[in-house]
Structure 1
Amino acid sequence: MTIRNLEYLFKPRSIAIVGRGKRAGGFDATVEFNLIEGGFKGPVMPVNPDQQAVSGVLAYKNIDSLPLVPELAILTTPVEEAPELIGQLGARGTKAVLLLSREVLQDHRGAKAALLGPEISRRYTDEGESLKQRILAAAKPYLLRVMGPDHLGYAVPSADLNASLSASRPLLGHIALLCQSAAVMRSLLDWATSHEIGFSHVISVGMRWDVDFGDLLDYLLRDSHTRAILMYMENTRNRRKFVSAARAAARVKPVIVLKPRDFRAGSVEDAVYDAVFQRAGILRVDNIEQLFAAAETLATAKPVFSNRLMILSNSYSLALLTSDALHRYGGQLTRISEETRAQVARACRPDYPIENPVDLGDMAGAEEYGKALDLLLKEPGTDGILVLHAPSSMDRSMESARTLVERAGGRRLIMTCWIGESSVQSAREMFKSAHIPTYQAPGEAVEAFMRLAQHRRNQELLMETPPSIPEEFTPDTETARRVIQIALIAGRRRLNAYETSQILSAYEIPVAPLHFASTPEAASEMALELKVPVALKILSPDIASKSEVGGVAFGLSNPLQVLVAASDMLARVRELAPEAVIDGFAVQAMQSRHGAYELMVGVRTGRRFGPVIIFGHGGTEAEVIDDMAYALPPLNMQLARDLMSRTRLYRQLRDNRGRPVDLDEIALTLIKVSQMVVDLAEVVEMDINPLWINNSGLLALDANVSIETVDPTTVSQRLAILPYPKELEKLFVLPDGRRFLMRPILPEDEPQIIDLVRRMPAEDVRMRFFQPIRELSHDMAARLTQLDYNREMAIAMTSPDGVPGKTTIWGVVRCNADPNMEKAEYSILVDRAMTGIGLGPMLMRYIIEYARKLGIKELYGEVLRENEAMLRLNRALNFKIQATFDDPGVLHVSLPLN
């Protein structure tokens, strides 16, 4: 990922527009007019060998004849000419190019060609890919960035830049809009202009041959004019780059996405995108109105912590309709204490039962609204109050609105809905001026509240500290890999039931004991040995669903029944699946667990984001019940519990006191499957179904595993989120025999990081954080331990045999690389009780070597002038030490690498 030279795209000081052709009014003329009319302050230089002037501006015959170097070049020539022109521009010193074209090979002509047959479609696709590579090759020597190809372009109102073909000029604001479709972007701009919504950036991302969603998110994250990022997205390509950039951006400012559901790709693929957005902290909406409403709500509303809403109204019927909408969206009404209900009744409506929704009656005015709010805002159980006002016989809307504004400055969220049109317009304007979210209809308000709750939940997934795993497990990865490799060498793409059982056992997932029988007679003899009723299953790597071909029989009570059932099963399977290879039979003692729930845990491999974990309702009717949730690996306990909570089944598992189960045991099983995905790249699909759980524990009765040969060079990139890099663990032994483990920090380490800071002298803490800190807050500690290993690293020094979260941390060194992966900032924290034995130098040498292997060119840091211990260490490690201009008390230290 990189934001290198993107400032030349969005803040250029000079622009060249390169076109050709004698026809006036082409793309180059449109862009020229939009740039000048938009108020661009720098020179705009048209290059056109066929015209003397473009839109009244003298044109240059070629790039070499330009009087100065254009920082940005806009090419309106056919895309096929771009490689040569980019080479010429790069040689002149141009740093960014926008490709504007009427026709884009890879997507549009390729899509149309697909209708004519696979050979024509493949030819156009290959042409597009070849052209893309030639363009990127031409740009690479000059570090030149390429935007597009695209039909529309982009605008940056804050920089008076309109490098687009759009007839409408976006209003100035603080929202950045990224759009994958030029047609949708025009619609969004038209809608936003009519609603007086402004933008910091409006970017049609086009084909994304170079600059893509990940780059733009990284750039906008750092843009001071942008307060929220909106995206219209149909797909994305670089999975890890996008997820990493999205997680970084969503920590700082709201990121909201409108993504249509592509039913041609199947429901699984869309569910994968949902899982990605949730893991990245992105809020997904369903239409244009919600896209902008969510941005406004998140920018103006106070944060919520759950989905509990208080409704205050002067109309009982209106309040009932609102509460009904709240329940439909999955929200809850706040429970009001008896004391508060009594106080509201006495103050506002004597002798009338008060509950939530709170009905003040149609005669309520400013006094009643004010007294009720004073009491309800003190109620601890609410996340927000929605105040409704319906027209009544006495017009008191403005007085009531003023009363509400006077009370809206506290920490609690207040939302408003004044029903009506012209009569309540002044009240709505008053709310907007006071930055109080206001809505025209109760349903819109409820939707907005639930979006706030969902956004908060997504943010918590970024910041939540997971509890430690309730029990450790050590998978036997060698056995699992050996089973898979034997099957692949044999040319098989699906494991049989016996092999699958070995895989699950290797990852300590309890399985029902399975016995192999090669023939019906052998199955009968096995049943005789077991002396209990048995289940009989066909063993075949070619049959995914045994029940569909009659390959399962249950409750066979004697050997004769097993012999008959096996013979009939063999004949039936050979008739229904004649090509299937039959390995034999699996014989299992019938399992009986009273009150067991049937679960399903599985793995799917998505087209865009690689493997995902599935959890939901199991059994033969799992597809009909359709109660499934998806999550990206790797998982921890918190993420596993969140995955479970997104199913209807979870509420039953959690709340059914008559059939209690250990939810942590289910979560641990999800973690084991997640680890299986991380370890075994060959596993592309898996279903453990049914997976029984009751108060006696968990048991897998059946499973299917599909495998594929993988390219070793792509294994590390198949996951959307980089898992814990265990290969970075390193053991150090001091001369006195003391042993320390250096390892990447984990989310579970948060309590120990807080404890480390708490143990340190106040002066040491000030030296590290440049301000006095008594104790790390949860949010700050979570940011220090919840790492995206793809772009940041923190190495903790601990005991070698400790458990994360419980073992003392003696020191931490971290390295945060810029998106260009050129420079990285380091910081270090060492317990004073351990100074003098070399822990600080060991940590610094480790992070220097780590940065060097990443290809980082410079490691730097900021050190207080009085921090002599750190400066001595910097000098010993050959850091260059310089004064800073803006703060004489801070020194800049840097070490060139590579």
Structure 2
Amino acid sequence: MSIRNLDALFRPQSVALIGASNRPGSVGEVTARNLFRSGFPGLVMPVNPKYRSIAGVLAYPDIASLPETPDLAVICTPPDTVPDIIAELGARGTRAAVIVTAGFGEGGHEAGLARRQAVLDAARPHLMRIVGPNCLGIVVPPAGLNASFSHLMPGTGGLAFATQSGAIVTSVVDWAAARDIGFSHLVSLGDMIDVDFGDMLDYLARDPGTNAILLYVEAITSARKFMSAARAAARMKPVIVVKAGRHAEGAAAAASHTGALAGEDAVYDAVFRRAGLLRVYSLEDLFHAAGILATRQRPAGDRLAILSNGGGIAVLATDALIDEGGALAPLDTATRQRLDGVLPPTWPHGNPVDIIGDADGPRYAAALEALLESDSNDAVLVLNCPTGVTSSLEAAEAVIDTVTRMAPDKPVLTSWVGELTARAARTRFAASRMADFATPEEAVKAFMYLVEDRRARETLMETPPAQPGDIRPDRDGAATILSAAIREGREWLSEPEAKSVMDAYGIPVSPTAVARTPADAAARAEEFAVPVALKILSRDITHKSDVGGVALNLTGADAVAAAAQAMLDRVARHRPGARIDGFTVQPMIERPGAHELILGLKEDAQFGPVVLFGQGGVSVEVVADRAIGLPPLNMKLARELIGRTRVVHLLRGYRDRPAADLDGIAVSLIRIAQLAADHPQIVELDINPLLADATGVIALDARIRVADRAGSGLDRLAIRPYPAELETPVELAGIGPAILRPVRPEDEPAFHGAFARLAEEETQLRLFGPVAISGHAAAARFTQIDYDREMSLVLAEPGPAGKATLYGIVRMSADPDGERAEFTLIVQPDKAGAGVGTCLMTHLIACARSRGIGELFALVPAGNAAMLALAHDLGFHAERVADREGLTRVFLHLTQA
């Protein structure tokens, strides 16, 4: 399920309140009062056999006696009654219900869990959607619907708020009412047995009345659905999230460094970052973010100009800006000269622009106008502290008049510091819909929310560079090693086995020999003829250095044999029960000045595999310098992951130290992520250390933990990886050997090279649908896709993505429920008639059918005879579009074809 029947939930024509009451203060009484008084234009039908009427409105004794089938039912009855109520409503045709009642498995109670399942079983046959249980209800101000027991009815506006906590809803409503901020939707999701955050994001992203989405999250369900919905929503409008329960006390200790470092909240942080969501850490921050986003201002960059009548508060704002990662805008010469003409000679001639403590309204207006007309800043923060010689209210009026008159395309934020004197000014700013904050620090943080939102959405649309090289992993070789360990009942691969898996995926590893005895270890060392590292080999010991199982820089057979025997003695004392399989011997890698890094993989219970990168070595947990990302990765994402650590500053080089091979590190991270996608048997992985310097990277030690799992394991990934199984070699007359494959984000340069030169009339003729294809944003729609919901197939010459020529591309975008998918086809002009379109469409139809999509359709210019003929040949039906002159809708029912 996704958005199916959510229209009945949020735009019902009729509502039944089951458990309505006249008892003052009861949930049934408050909810009834809210439904009657919220301005809902439809029919409200209270149901309770105890009452003839509810608040003067005729009540009905049961569902059977209702005069019509309600679109939406709100249920406030005892928990044991709810499953039968859902069954009766569903049989009658009700499409959505809000269950306010608690008692459905909170805390893991067995009886409640049984009720929960009974509700789902009753709703499922009727495709009935459920919000709750254990929730406050829903409020849709534009529809006049208040199906909740909230204490206030909020006004109408562009913010939507979805939360797992009903108490948070009432707090937000109270806060917003004091600031005259309105909402499009407020939804208390409660226990989320059906409708969850993914559903809400899908629905709200498409709602024209919603400008920004706020989320209060305690836990995410259906990780894949959430990620797909969140990434799609964040491309269209700001999404702000506050996550409760950031510290997982009492979490089980992990066996690897990665497990110890990749905590639950760090994973959520990676999830929100990858989805393009703006994360805040408190309700106060959520309020501030909501307030600034309600203004719909969007800065072009992070350069802030600060205008103030006091130097002290301007310095505080500057400090806050730098702390938050913003930039103090420079003053260009023209702006400085203009300010010289309107400010006293004593102004400091820089940013912050201190207009001196006796600044009146006209001085504020003149200085603000100069800054708004300057191209050297992206936003202006106007500050005021009260003085005895000027009026704070007059200054506020001047700022409001200037902004109203100039209507700048850059944000203007204000902070009138103080309380008593500033109160009137804040009232005026609120009435004028201007963003005002109590302190300069709050204002700066709000500005940075705008900046971070812009950055997040730009990151979602960035085109990644192509990977250097074209290494094809040996999947079968790695799978053989993993399967052998599982058959033998081993949880951990040996170091040589783990390194062999790394080698199969193109990650450079140090050569390693296995020795069974001290004498054997001495012989292996002689073969290397250089100083060696000796390590204990045991399936029971994962951290060898903790038990004295590592010896370095050993020279000569005698030294190796003696060290091996001493190692056996130490390990026997520290881990007397450990099984010893022997030793590993490897040459010492002499890379003076190389950085020790850690690369890892861990299975998260909710989001599946996550990739870790950070500073490595024996002190890795103490240093705790790490960042986490979700697979799959590309070069852009891998470089961004590296850039979120402190060690990156060393890796970029300093003084006489050259930069490390950042591309080599990034490719290694991509290979680790690919291992996660290809081999579900891998549940934990460490490479520690990975040495990195200017000459490249090499893994000195590796460990892999495995578990017996059947199937592909793709469902455990929060983001569907590149579907390599769809790659198909083809050969067409006039083209020769080619490959049909899913598109990659790296294909964008080739996309522009093949199609961006199409003239407008050619575009209309060669597209199924009048779609613009020039520019980065348009190309990204074809090349940066969610493989779980969309598909773009390309026919290309063999070669790496981004460099191989594209002959044609077809894109399919399905609705969230998978009922219908719209497609667009583009063929390179000089390849028309070569069978490119037929080849692409044939494979797209097969792909759509395999995904269970019911209908494939497109809008075709009526004069495009060639395209209509192709559609006809492929079995599509055609019909004129009544309200779109000149367009024909072609469609294919896949379930019937």
Q: TM-score, normalised by structure 1?
A: 0.92
Q: Which residue of 1 aligns with 2:685?
A: 686
Q: Indicate whether 1:388 and 2:372 are aligned.
A: no
Is the 1:722–1:790 contact (alpha carbons within 8 Å) kept by the matching residues of 2? yes
Q: CA deviation at 1:296?
A: 2.6
- Is 459-468 or 648-657 further displaced after alignment? 648-657
Is the 1:369–1:403 contact (alpha carbons within 8 Å) kept by the matching residues of 2? no
Q: CA deviation at 1:347?
A: 6.3
User: Aligned with 1:326: secondary structure?
Assistant: helix
Q: CA deviation at 1:250?
A: 1.1
Is the 1:342–1:354 contact (alpha carbons within 8 Å) kept by the matching residues of 2? no
Q: CA deviation at 1:524?
A: 2.4
| Structure 1 residues 799-843: Cα deviation after superposition (integer angstroms, max 9, x where no partner) | 1x1221122222211111111111111111112221122222222
Of residues 205, 209, 222 in structure 1, which corresponds to 2:206?
222
- Is 328-337 or 468-477 further displaced after alignment? 328-337
Q: Indicate whether 1:43 and 2:27 are aligned.
A: no
User: Aligned with 2:597: secondary structure?
Assistant: strand
| Structure 1 residues 175-212: Cα deviation after superposition (integer angstroms, max 9, x where no partner) | 11111022333333333333333221111101111111
Q: Which residue of 2 aligns with 1:896?
A: 893
Q: Which residue of 2 aligns with 1:8?
A: 8
Q: CA deviation at 1:350?
A: 4.4
| Structure 1 residues 699-734: Cα deviation after superposition (integer angstroms, max 9, x where no partner) | 212122111122327x12111000011111222222
Q: CA deviation at 1:366?
A: 5.5
Alignment of 1:485-496 (within 5 A): 485-496=483-494
Alignment of 1:277-296 (within 5 A): 277-296=272-291
User: Aligned with 1:491: secondary structure?
Assistant: coil
- Is 551-560 or 607-616 further displaced after alignment? 551-560
Q: CA deviation at 1:393?
A: 5.1
Is the 2:822–2:857 contact (alpha carbons within 8 Å) kept by the matching residues of 1? yes
Identity of aligned residues (%): 44
User: Aligned with 2:756: secondary structure?
Assistant: helix
User: Aligned with 1:155: secondary structure?
Assistant: strand
Of residues 509, 512, 520 in structure 2, which corresponds to 1:511?
509
Q: Indicate whether 1:842 and 2:826 are aligned.
A: no
2:72 partner letter: L
CA change 1:769–1:414 in 2 (3 A) is farther
User: Aligned with 2:80: secondary structure?
Assistant: helix
Of residues 222, 225, 239 in structure 1, which corresponds to 2:223?
239
Q: Indicate whether 1:484 and 2:482 are aligned.
A: yes
Instruction: Mark the runs of 5 or more structure 2 residues left unpaired by the alignment.
Output: 252-261
Is the 2:161–2:215 contact (alpha carbons within 8 Å) kept by the matching residues of 1? yes
- Is 87-96 or 881-890 further displaced after alignment? 881-890
1:700 partner letter: A
| Structure 1 residues 544-578: Cα deviation after superposition (integer angstroms, max 9, x where no partner) | 21121121122223333322322222222223223
- Counterpart CA distance in 2 for 1:467 and 1:444 is 37
Is the 1:684–1:708 contact (alpha carbons within 8 Å) kept by the matching residues of 2? yes
Is the 1:600–1:615 contact (alpha carbons within 8 Å) kept by the matching residues of 2? yes
| Structure 1 residues 134-174: Cα deviation after superposition (integer angstroms, max 9, x where no partner) | 32222222221122212421111211111112233233322
Is the 1:542–1:581 contact (alpha carbons within 8 Å) kept by the matching residues of 2? yes
Q: CA deviation at 1:438?
A: 2.8
CA change 1:853–1:669 in 2 (3 A) is same
- Is 23-32 or 210-219 further displaced after alignment? 23-32
Is the 1:401–1:427 contact (alpha carbons within 8 Å) kept by the matching residues of 2? no
2:859 partner letter: E
User: Aligned with 2:719: secondary structure?
Assistant: coil
Q: Which residue of 1 aligns with 2:592?
A: 594
- Counterpart CA distance in 1 for 2:576 and 2:376 is 63
CA change 1:75–1:344 in 2 (3 A) is closer
CA change 1:657–1:82 in 2 (3 A) is same
Q: Which residue of 2 aligns with 1:74?
A: 74
User: Aligned with 1:776: secondary structure?
Assistant: coil
CA change 1:380–1:652 in 2 (3 A) is farther
Is the 2:172–2:287 contact (alpha carbons within 8 Å) kept by the matching residues of 1? no
User: Aligned with 1:150: secondary structure?
Assistant: coil
Q: Which residue of 2 aligns with 1:158?
A: 142
1:828 partner letter: L
| Structure 1 residues 376-404: Cα deviation after superposition (integer angstroms, max 9, x where no partner) | 55665544332323334531653552575
- Counterpart CA distance in 2 for 1:493 and 1:370 is 71
Q: TM-score, normalised by structure 2?
A: 0.92
Is the 1:599–1:617 contact (alpha carbons within 8 Å) kept by the matching residues of 2? yes
Is the 2:295–2:434 contact (alpha carbons within 8 Å) kept by the matching residues of 1? yes
- Counterpart CA distance in 2 for 1:81 and 1:846 is 50
CA change 1:46–1:330 in 2 (3 A) is same
Q: Indicate whether 1:874 and 2:871 are aligned.
A: yes
1:568 partner letter: A
User: Aligned with 1:183: secondary structure?
Assistant: helix
Q: Which residue of 1 aligns with 2:728?
A: 730
- Is 345-354 or 130-139 further displaced after alignment? 345-354
Q: Which residue of 2 aligns with 1:114?
A: none
Of residues 113, 138, 146 in structure 1, which corresponds to 2:130?
146
- Counterpart CA distance in 1 for 2:589 and 2:314 is 52
Q: CA deviation at 1:75?
A: 2.6
Q: Which residue of 1 aligns with 2:660?
A: 661
- Is 393-402 or 530-539 further displaced after alignment? 393-402
Q: Which residue of 2 aligns with 1:115?
A: none
Q: How many pairs align?
A: 879
User: Aligned with 2:652: secondary structure?
Assistant: helix
Q: CA deviation at 1:631?
A: 0.7
Is the 2:156–2:184 contact (alpha carbons within 8 Å) kept by the matching residues of 1? yes
Of residues 306, 312, 317 in structure 2, which corresponds to 1:317?
312
- Counterpart CA distance in 2 for 1:431 and 1:278 is 33
Q: Which residue of 1 aligns with 2:473?
A: 475
Q: Which residue of 1 aligns with 2:103?
A: 104
Of residues 849, 852, 862 in structure 1, which corresponds to 2:849?
852
After TM superposition, the runs of 4+ consecutive aligned structure 1 residues lying more than 6 A away are 20-25, 769-772
2:15 partner letter: I
- Counterpart CA distance in 2 for 1:360 and 1:60 is 69
Q: Which residue of 2 aligns with 1:118?
A: none
- Counterpart CA distance in 1 for 2:639 and 2:871 is 44
Is the 2:22–2:55 contact (alpha carbons within 8 Å) kept by the matching residues of 1? no
Q: CA deviation at 1:68?
A: 1.5
- Counterpart CA distance in 2 for 1:378 and 1:137 is 62
| Structure 1 residues 516-535: Cα deviation after superposition (integer angstroms, max 9, x where no partner) | 11112222232333333222
Is the 2:491–2:706 contact (alpha carbons within 8 Å) kept by the matching residues of 1? yes
Q: CA deviation at 1:763?
A: 0.3
CA change 1:168–1:416 in 2 (3 A) is closer
User: Aligned with 2:213: secondary structure?
Assistant: strand
Of residues 624, 627, 641 in structure 2, which corresponds to 1:626?
624
- Is 860-869 or 462-471 further displaced after alignment? 860-869
Q: Which residue of 2 aligns with 1:417?
A: 415
Q: Indicate whether 1:175 and 2:159 are aligned.
A: yes
- RMSD across aligned C-alpha pairs, in angstroms? 2.7
Q: Which residue of 2 aligns with 1:86?
A: 86
Is the 2:768–2:861 contact (alpha carbons within 8 Å) kept by the matching residues of 1? no
- Counterpart CA distance in 2 for 1:143 and 1:14 is 18
2:231 partner letter: R
CA change 1:30–1:404 in 2 (3 A) is closer
Q: Which residue of 1 aligns with 2:750?
A: 752
Q: Which residue of 1 aligns with 2:176?
A: 192
CA change 1:344–1:272 in 2 (3 A) is same
Q: Which residue of 1 aligns with 2:672?
A: 673
Alignment of 1:478-627 (within 5 A): 478-627=476-625
Alignment of 1:27-66 (within 5 A): 27-66=27-66
CA change 1:197–1:415 in 2 (3 A) is closer
1:132 partner letter: R
Q: Indicate whether 1:355 and 2:350 are aligned.
A: yes
- Counterpart CA distance in 1 for 2:568 and 2:325 is 49
Q: CA deviation at 1:870?
A: 1.9
CA change 1:700–1:821 in 2 (3 A) is same
Q: Which residue of 1 aligns with 2:815?
A: 818
User: Aligned with 1:613: secondary structure?
Assistant: strand
CA change 1:78–1:301 in 2 (3 A) is closer
User: Aligned with 1:451: secondary structure?
Assistant: helix
1:865 partner letter: A
- Counterpart CA distance in 2 for 1:737 and 1:780 is 27
- Is 556-565 or 698-707 further displaced after alignment? 556-565
CA change 1:11–1:393 in 2 (3 A) is same
